[in-house]
């Protein structure tokens, strides 16, 4: 009996060669937009001390309660595969003294993240995010900047049919009173809270009642008091300034009171970007202010804002939008040979050409010339270089242009000049 074939673990994806073009396009575009906005790249480790996420993402959130991959390593350290990017970036900001640099610090990252979610279309256990963080500036002008960044990036990727959903959840001055109002409202209708999770949230995390996705909760949410109607003066000014900026930038938005964050260190702006056929798993990206996070991680009180985009979801949207992805059109040569002696001459020629910057792939050994040329077409080579006994003797090769199917005999120097100058 043959052994069972392995499958990739549930909720993970192989990114096959034919899809790599989309990923390269995303990365190149993201790098370009980041440069235009003056953001610098940061890479943080794939795993961190488990307590970083417990402290920052919070024990009573779904992410830390049910979704982290946490394990003890052989030295007894409790580690967590990063479920999101902001706490590691905040940690790095403090660890490397970025708070001593001129503020704000503008950073972006791109990498894989891990959540033990129930896998379905657009929801994976290992997924990729592109994200930005602006740390050290409280003004609403950076809120509009990161939103503009996210929208311009999507536009540049050919994904422009999106809706910007926006909310402000106030700050530590006005939120407690708002939460009291929300609790009083839900308390008076608690018999309509049919889910255990929602009843529990009424006590532990009332804001999260507003982002319940179940149908029964929707009428309750629709009639609930909204946070933007309960802001203190300074939060209201911040909110007005943000809406003013977005108006000036010509960006439309929908105010959505269901957009909340459960943790105290989040404040003011919260936003999401959704495609037009909004489904639960379709949010392309989201972000918001986290003015209390850096202090929670042991730093001085420092404001911050960021967003993260799900790369798999954006990639699916790019494919749907039909954005043409440029193929690699560089010269690619297959060296075909007839006989053993010419094989070793071919190997040396390949090595020489590679040093000159040309992409060279050897044809499969021990096959007919026809089969070697078929292989060259299958890997989308632009040229074949054919060496047989006759060419070996004369010190020449046959250069075949695979697009035009023309071929001619050329000397080695001419060959290099032709291919390297391409």
284 binds ligand AMP (CB under 6 A): yes
Angle between helices 140-156 and 20-37 (to 10 degrees): 150
Q: Does 112 bind ligand AMP (CB under 6 A)?
A: no
286 lies in the binding site for ligand AMP (CB under 6 A): yes
Pick the binder of ligand AMP from 31, 123, 251, 343 (CB under 6 A): 123
Q: Which residue is nearest to ligand AMP (CB)?
A: 310
In terms of CB distance, is 122 or 362 closer to ligand AMP?
Answer: 122
The least distance separating ligand AMP from the CB of residue 164, rounded to whole angstroms, comes to: 13
Task: Compute the distance between CA of residue 75 and CA of residue 73 in angstroms, rounded to an integer.
Answer: 5
Return the residue of 82, 91, 115, 238 that touches ligand AMP, per CB under 6 A: 115
* Token output for 330: 């560089």
Distance of alpha carbon 34 from alpha carbon 108, whole angstroms: 7
Contact mark string toward ligand AMP, 48..87, x via CB under 6 A: ------------------------------------x---
Contacts (CB under 6 A) with ligand AMP, residues 296-325:
308-310, 312-313
* CB of 90 closer than 8 Å to CB of 293: yes
Query: Which stretch, 28-36, 122-130, 202-210, 259-267, contacts ligand AMP (CB under 6 A)?
Result: 122-130
Q: Which stretch binds ligand AMP (CB under 6 A): 15-23, 197-205, 277-285, 329-337?
A: 277-285
Question: 252-265 burial by CB neighbour count: b if 16+ within 10 A, else e?
Answer: ebeebbbbbbbbeb
Dist. CA 51–CA 68, nearest whole Å = 12
Output 123 or 181, the one with its CB closest to ligand AMP.
123
Considering only 285, 304, 306, 346, the residue that binds ligand AMP (CB under 6 A) is 285
Sheet holding 78-81, edge to edge: 47-49, 78-81, 70-72
Rounded-to-integer distance, Cα 166 and Cα 287, Å: 10
Q: Report in angstroms how near the CB of residue 262 gets to ligand AMP at its nearest.
A: 12
- 3-state SS of the chain: helix, strand, coil percent to 5? 45, 20, 35
Which of 129, 267 has the CB closer to ligand AMP? Answer: 129
Map residues 228-267 to x or -, x wherever contact with ligand AMP holds by CB under 6 A.
Answer: ----------------------------------------
Distances, alpha carbon 385 to alpha carbons 10, 395, 422, in Å: 44, 13, 15
Q: Do strands 40-41 and 304-310 pair parallel, antiparallel, or not at all (unpaired)?
A: unpaired
Query: CB–CB of 392/342 below 8 Å?
Result: yes
Cβ closest to ligand AMP, residue 27 vs residue 84: 84
Q: Is 118 helix (H, G, I), strand (E, B) or coil?
A: coil
Contact set for ligand AMP, span 343-362 (CB under 6 A): none
Smaller CB separation from ligand AMP, 35 or 121? 121
Count the site residues for ligand AMP by CB under 6 A: 17
> Which span sits near ligand AMP by CB under 6 A: 28-36, 121-129, 217-225, 397-405?
121-129
Axis-axis angle for helices 196-204, 175-188 (nearest 10): 140
> Using the rule CB under 6 A, is 124 a contact of ligand AMP?
yes
Alpha-carbon distance 415 to 403, whole Å?
A: 17
Contact 133, 302 (CB under 8 A): no
**Least distance from ligand AMP to the Cβ atom of residue 68, Å:** 12
Please state the closest distance from residue 251 (CB atom) to ligand AMP, in A.
18
User: Smallest Cα–Cα separation from 273: which of 247, 291, 251?
Assistant: 251
Q: CA 413, CA 241: separation in Å to the nearest integer? A: 66
Q: Which residue, 261 or 400, has its beta carbon nearer to ligand AMP?
A: 261
Task: Decide whether 114 or 178 has the Cβ nearer to ligand AMP.
Answer: 114
Separation between Cα atoms, residue 405 and residue 240, nearest integer Å: 65
Shortest reach from residue 419's CB to ligand AMP, in Å: 43
127 near ligand AMP, rule: CB under 6 A: yes
Q: Is 129 in the site for ligand AMP (CB under 6 A)?
A: yes
Q: How far apart are CA 337 and CA 211, in angstroms?
A: 65
CA gap 29, 38 in Å, rounded: 14
Using CB under 6 A, list all residues that contact ligand AMP: 84, 115, 117, 122-124, 127, 129, 283-286, 308-310, 312-313
């Amino acid at each position: 009996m043959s052994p069972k074939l392995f499958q990739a673990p549930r909720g993970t994806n192989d990114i096959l060669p034919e899809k790599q073009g989309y990923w390269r396009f995303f990365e190149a575009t993201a790098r370009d937009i980041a440069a235009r906005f003056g953001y610098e790249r940061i890479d943080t480790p794939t795993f961190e001390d488990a307590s970083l996420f417990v402290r920052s993402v919070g024990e009573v959130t779904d992410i830390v309660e049910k979704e982290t991959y946490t394990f003890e390593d052989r030295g007894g350290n409790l580690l967590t595969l990063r479920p999101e990017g902001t706490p590691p970036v905040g940690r790095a900001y403090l660890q490397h003294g970025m708070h001593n640099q001129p503020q704000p610090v503008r950073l972006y990252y791109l990498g894989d993240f891990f959540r033990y979610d129930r896998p379905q279309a657009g929801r994976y256990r290992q997924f990729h995010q592109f994200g930005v963080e602006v740390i050290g500036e409280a003004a609403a002008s950076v809120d509009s900047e990161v939103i503009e960044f996210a929208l311009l990036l999507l536009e540049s990727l050919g994904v422009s049919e999106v809706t910007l959903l926006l909310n402000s959840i106030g700050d530590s001055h006005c939120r407690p009173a708002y939460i009291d109002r929300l609790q009083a409202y839900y308390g008076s209708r608690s018999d309509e809270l049919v889910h255990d999770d929602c009843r529990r949230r009424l006590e532990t995390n009332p804001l999260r009642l507003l982002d319940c996705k179940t149908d029964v909760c929707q009428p309750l949410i629709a009639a609930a008091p909204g946070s933007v109607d309960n802001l203190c003066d300074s939060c209201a000014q911040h909110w007005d300034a943000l809406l003013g900026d977005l108006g000036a930038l010509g960006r439309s938005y929908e105010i959505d009171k269901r957009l909340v964050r459960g943790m105290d260190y989040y404040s003011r702006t919260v936003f999401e970007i959704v495609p037009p056929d909004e489904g639960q798993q379709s949010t392309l990206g989201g972000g918001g202010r986290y003015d209390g996070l850096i202090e929670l991680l042991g730093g001085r009180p420092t404001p911050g804002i960021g967003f993260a985009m799900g790369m798999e979801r954006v990639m699916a949207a790019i494919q749907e939008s039909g954005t043409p992805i440029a193929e690699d059109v560089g010269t690619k040569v297959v060296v075909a040979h007839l006989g053993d002696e010419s094989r070793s001459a071919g190997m040396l020629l390949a090595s020489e050409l590679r040093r000159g910057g040309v992409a060279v792939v050897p044809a499969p050994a021990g096959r007919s010339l026809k089969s070697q040329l078929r292989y060259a077409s299958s890997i989308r080579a632009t040229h074949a270089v054919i060496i047989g006994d006759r060419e070996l003797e004369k010190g020449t090769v046959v250069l075949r242009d695979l697009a035009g199917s023309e071929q001619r005999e050329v000397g080695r120097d001419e060959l290099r000049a032709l291919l390297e100058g391409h």
